[in-house]
Amino acid sequence: MAVTVVYKRAAEAEITDIVEYHEAQRPGVGVAFLDELRRIEAHLQQNPALYHEVMPGIRRAPLRRFPYGVFYLIENGQVVVLACFHLRRAPRPHMELKAR
């Protein structure tokens, strides 16, 4: 049974920034990033617990072609995406992952 994947506003903003950055660097790469994100989202819809917990209640789904991770939790029968950020860089100071 497929579950719904929802994005927090902060995660949506991060994804928009990532896509715009990559498109500015090389046209088409931002679209490829979105394709990879859709692939991860399909995995999460079918099997939300597929990826391991990195903190209590929070899981990380690494993207295959890009050094980014999707951080999410499973809540009330849906996947809530909290953040998407580069795994080889320190997160921005305002970014803090917390399970509710």
| Bridge partners of residue 88, in order along the sequence | none
Q: For each of the domains in the chain, give its residue range(s) and CATH number, in order of start.
A: 4-86 (3.30.2310.20)
Order of strands across the sheet that contains 68-75: 4-7, 78-86, 68-75, 58-62, 53-55
> Which ranges of 1-100 would DSSP assign to H, the alpha helix?
9-25, 29-46
Any idea what DSSP says for residue 24?
H
Tokens in use for 21? 């950055």
pLDDT in tens, 42-91: 999 999 999 999 999 999 999 999 999 999 999 999 999 999 988 887 55
Q: Structure pTM?
A: 0.85
